[in-house]
Structures are given as C-alpha cells and as structure tokens.
C-alpha cells in the first residue's frame, strides 16, 4: 500500500511540475507529454489485464483520442496552446481564451457533448474523450475495487457540484462582460479553478488517494461536467441492463464499479446517469447477466432485455 501511495505522489508531482513549467499556458505541451506517456504506459498494462473485446477497444480508442486531440493536433499541427478535448463547464476559459478556436470549443461544449451523450451515454465523453476519465481508466485500473461501493455520493457532494457549476456560469458571464482584464477576476479564477478545483481536487486528491478511495474520485464526487452529462445521459438511450433471471446477487459487479453504482440491488434497466460505461461489471459478472445498450427500450423495461444484442 505504501508503494502505491508513493507511486501516486510521484505521478502527481510529475504532473504538477510539468504544468508549472509553463504557467502562462492553460494546458502546456510539457503536461501533454506527461499525460500522454501515462495514458500509453498504464493503458497498455490495463489493456493486457482485460479480456472483454469492448474494454480492449475502449482502451485503444480512448488513448488514440488523447494522442490526437490532447497532443498531436493542437500542439504539433495547429500550434494551439489548449487541448481540443476539453469543454465548458470544466474548462470555462475555453470560451474566452480560445482565440480563433472559440467556435470549436462552443460546438464541442454545447452541441457535440449533449448529442453524443444522449445517443451513446455518459461513456462517450467521460470514458472515451475526457483526459481525466481516461487517466482513471488507465492509471486507476488497479484501484477499481477500492473505496466505498454501491453508495451514491452524499447530498453534500452533489451540492458542491452545483455550486461549482453556478460559479462557472458566473465566471463565464463576467468574462464576456469584459472582466477578464480585472486583476480580481484573474485572482479569483486562479484560486477557484486552478488551485482548488484542478490542482487540489482533480489532480492531488484524485490521484494520490486512489489507493484509499478507488479510481474516479473526481468524476464521482466533484466534477461539474459529470453532473450535467449525467442529467443528459439519464434522459438518453444508454442503459446498463441486467437479466434478473441470471443474476445470483453475488455483488461482484458492485465491487468492481468505480462509480459506486448499486448494480446488484439496482433496477434491471439502469439509467442512473452515473455509469461511465467502462464495461468492467459486464466483464466480471460470473453469470453473464449484464449488458450495455444504446437501443431504445420502450414501455415496460423488462429484465429479459439483458444479454441480448441491440
């Protein structure tokens, strides 16, 4: 366990130093190299440990997305100082500091994300595209069974996400009202978004406490984007489906769910909005009682949908 903590502290420090080598950039290239190295190294190790074809494809696609949109296209091709796979509200500054790419970030934030999440579920962004989600699936793969299970975040954490979301709206409105030139605006943005949210919660807590609380700490307890995406996903087409006639209530799926969803005790067709579609519960279920679907399940959502292809 001590070895795990030391590894995570070292990785956090590596990320922290790489960011601060070029503080004038939102996501500096050095940080891009560090993150991409982590994705590839830990992603390769995680890829080897899983057997479900869906999960193997997930690793290939999500790492390729990072290499292309987090690194190659923005930094090497178009010489932009921000990754292309980030969006409002997690990175509100893309709407006022993105220069010529404002249209890109606006479309990604307000059109692409809602549409793909509605069609394919929260996994479309949180597992395949978001860099923090991909770090959780790669670096955090060995810590899926750690932390509390089958327990939704307390109302306090949900309220915190709403507070961050409201703050993001306030900062965005202020930025478009011309306040970005004010020193107080820059200072407040630095304290709230850079120091508290990103450095402390999204990086330090999310990485260093993995051996204690499991992977996806940020996604589960703090992410304001996850809050919005979860709401859309709940109304969308994605569902985790359980065949009640096969399930023997062993709880193995719950033990492996990094989002602490109560799959065992949950409904046969689960649209919690929290599921990030990692596929691990489907893989570990000894009775093959679980499947994921993006097909419309209308009327009475019966458990016999489980296990069928849609």
Residue 288 CA to residue 149 CA, distance in Å, equals 20
Alpha helices in 66-154 (DSSP H): 102-107, 113-120, 123-126, 131-138
Q: Interface with ligand SF4 includes 252 (CB under 6 A)?
A: yes
The reply to whether 124 sits near ligand SF4 by the rule CB under 6 A is no
- The yes or no reply on residue 261 touching ligand SF4 (CB under 6 A) is yes
**Residue 103 burial (CB < 10 Å; 0-12/13-18/19+)?**
exposed
Cβ distance to ligand SF4 smaller for residue 17 or 235: 235
Stretch that binds ligand SF4, among 6-14, 34-42, 109-117, 255-263 (CB under 6 A): 255-263
DSSP state of 154: P
With CB under 6 A as the contact rule, the residue among 35, 279, 293, 305 that binds ligand SF4 is: 279
117 binds ligand SF4 (CB under 6 A): no
Extract the tokens encoding 271. Answer: 């649209």
Cis peptide leading into residue 193 (ω within 30°):
no
Residue 29 or 153 with smaller CB distance to ligand SF4: 153
Q: Which of 199, 287, 294, 301 binds ligand SF4 (CB under 6 A)?
A: 287
Kindly state whether residue 249 participates in binding ligand SF4, applying the rule CB under 6 A: yes
> Contact at 8 Å (CB) between 171 and 92?
yes
Rounded Cα distance between 38 and 238, Å, is 29
DSSP 182: S
The reply to whether 278 sits near ligand SF4 by the rule CB under 6 A is yes
Nearer to ligand SF4, 92 or 273 (CB): 273
**How far, in Å, CA of 283 to CA of 187, rounded?**
46
Does 257 interact with ligand SF4 (rule: CB under 6 A)?
yes
d(CA 73, CA 92): 21
Member of 250, 297, 301, 307 binding ligand SF4 (CB under 6 A) = 250
Told to check if 28 binds ligand SF4 by CB under 6 A, we report no
Residue 300 falls in which region: left (phi positive, over 0), alpha (psi -120 to 50) or beta: beta
Residue 228: alpha-carbon gap to chain centroid? 12
User: Per-residue string for binding with ligand SF4, 223-242, x by CB under 6 A?
Assistant: -----------------x-x
User: Any contact of residue 71 with ligand SF4 (CB under 6 A)?
Assistant: no
Contact between 275 and ligand SF4 per CB under 6 A: yes
Tell me: does residue 259 bind ligand SF4 (CB under 6 A): yes
By CB under 6 A, is residue 281 in contact with ligand SF4?
A: yes
Would you call 103 helix, strand, or coil by DSSP? helix
Contact flag: residue 289 with ligand SF4 (CB under 6 A): yes
The binding site for ligand SF4 (CB under 6 A) comprises 240, 242, 247-253, 256-257, 259, 261, 263-264, 275-281, 285, 287, 289-290
């Amino acid at each position: 366990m001590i070895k795990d903590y030391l590894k995570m502290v070292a990785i956090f420090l590596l990320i922290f130093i790489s960011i601060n080598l070029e503080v004038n950039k939102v996501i500096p290239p050095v940080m891009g190299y560090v993150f991409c190295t982590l994705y590839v190294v830990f992603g390769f190790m995680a890829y080897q440990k899983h057997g479900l074809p869906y999960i193997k494809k997930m690793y290939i696609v999500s790492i390729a997305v990072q290499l292309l949109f987090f690194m190659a296209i923005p930094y090497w091709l178009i010489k932009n100082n921000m990754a292309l796979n980030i969006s409002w509200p997690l990175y509100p500054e893309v709407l006022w500091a993105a220069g010529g790419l404002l249209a890109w970030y606006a479309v990604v934030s307000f059109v692409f994300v809602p549409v793909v999440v509605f069609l394919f579920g929260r996994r479309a962004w949180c597992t395949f595209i978001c860099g923090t989600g991909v770090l959780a699936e790669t670096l955090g793969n060995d810590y899926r069974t750690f932390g509390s299970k089958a327990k939704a975040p307390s109302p306090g954490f949900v309220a915190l996400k709403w507070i961050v979301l409201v703050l993001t709206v306030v900062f965005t409105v202020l930025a478009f009202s011309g306040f970005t030139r004010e020193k107080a605006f820059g200072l407040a943005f630095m304290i709230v978004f850079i120091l508290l949210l990103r450095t402390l919660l999204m990086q330090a807590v999310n990485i260093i406490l993995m051996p204690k609380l499991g992977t996806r700490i940020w996604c589960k307890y703090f992410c304001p984007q996850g809050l919005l995406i979860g709401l859309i996903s709940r109304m969308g087409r994605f569902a985790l489906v359980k065949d009640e006639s096969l399930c023997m209530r062993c709880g193995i799926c719950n033990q492996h769910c990094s989002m602490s969803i109560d799959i065992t005790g949950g409904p046969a067709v689960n649209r919690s909005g929290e599921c990030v579609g990692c596929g691990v519960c489907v893989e570990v279920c000894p009775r093959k009682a679980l499947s994921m679907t993006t097909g419309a399940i209308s009327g009475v959502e019966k458990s016999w949908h489980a296990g069928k292809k849609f």
